Amino acid sequence: MVQLISRTASVSPKGRQVEFPRQLVHRSDPEDVFPTGWTRQTDTQFSVSARWPRAHRFFAPVAGRYQDPLLIAETMRQTTMLLAHAEFDVLVGDQFVMWELGYTSSPESLALGARPEHPDHPDGSWDITVDVSCSRIKRRGRGLGSMSLELLLHRNGSRIATGGGRISCTSAKVYERLRGDRHALIGVPVPLLPAVAPREAGRTSERDVVLAPTPHQGVWQLRLDTGHPTLFGRPNDHVPGILLLEAARQAANVVSSGRPFLPVSLETAFLRYVELDRPCWIEARIVPADTPSTTRVQVRATQDGEPVFTSTLDSPDRTEEAQGTRS
């Protein structure tokens, strides 16, 4: 489960784009905020504008050739938070949980040009649009109980990715009762474990590695750096969902034995909160894919003997000789 904490709420006039404070996507650093505004099309359909940087301290290009595919997941996550707060009356202090998240893309959709492609963005950033359709909306009083979302990300008329997710909401009182004394762990230091070699995990910096080695092949312990500026962008009483997605991507890189792994497709289920103060084990294995020339990796996370997270990631076997590390 991925917890999303409400900060504030506002409502957009129909058909007019609205800008918003970055607190609506639960990011304090502007560098980590990707949506830039939204327009209400109908009561259940919205268009969200976003900007992807060509250079980012964490979501950096893969081998200098491709936008980081996890930008898709993070943009979907932030878009969901934005609309839940701004359009579906999620009250200040309410909590909501993401249960499922998935997307499908392609290397061609994520390929970077050799030079900036828009005169207004000499840094090479991309302006994209996210079309959102909300369904299976269940209300809790005047607020939101749960809903599903379908998302289409496109740029200059070309599709980047399609995806979807499912969230549910609860009141602050219910969340406090559910979590018990977990709030006391916010800000408590977590011992930093040794890291898998960054290159094996598809990274260049040890600080970005979220896997710790174990004696068992295909098994790692989740490595938590609660001071990481992006993965822990705000205090939390459990492991953030984006960190679990990154753990799945890094595990896929390791089991691919040095072959480039570009997760152009991902399907994830968040089953339970992952606690900060107990070991979480990440397991990964290559399984048969639905299409040829595709590497598929299944990842499972367990804690206290129970599954807490599952993910299936697909990568094309050849991505123009790309090396699976950040540039």
Can you read off the two tokens belonging to residue 16?
């007019």
Residue 70 to residue 242: CA distance in whole angstroms: 9
**Locus of tokens 């964490």:** 58
Collapsing DSSP to helix, strand or coil, 105 comes out as: coil
pLDDT band at 195 (very low <50, low <70, confident <90, very high): very high
Q: pLDDT tens across 112-162, in order?
A: 986 555 656 667 899 999 999 999 999 987 778 899 999 999 999 999 999
Cα separations (Å) of 151 from 146, 242, 267? 17, 18, 14
Compute how many other C-beta atoms are within 10 angstroms of the C-beta atom of residue 45: 13
* Eight-state DSSP code of residue 237: S
Residues forming a β-bridge with 46 = 40, 132
Residue 116 to residue 187: CA distance in whole angstroms: 40
Distance of CA 78 to the CA centre of its chain: 8
Residue 327 to residue 279: CA distance in whole angstroms: 31
Handedness of CA 203, 204, 208, 209 (dihedral sign): positive
pLDDT band at 97 (very low <50, low <70, confident <90, very high): confident
pTM: 0.89
Burial class (CB in 10 A: 0-12, 13-18, 19+), 104: middle
Q: pLDDT tens across 199-246, in order?
A: 999 999 999 999 999 999 999 999 999 999 999 987 788 899 999 999
Cα separations (Å) of 292 from 54, 111, 296? 31, 21, 10
Q: pLDDT tens across 46-58, in order?
A: 999 999 998 899 9
Residue 224 to residue 212: CA distance in whole angstroms: 9
pLDDT band at 2 (very low <50, low <70, confident <90, very high): very low
Residue 120 to residue 43: CA distance in whole angstroms: 33
pLDDT at residue 183 greater than cutoff 50: yes
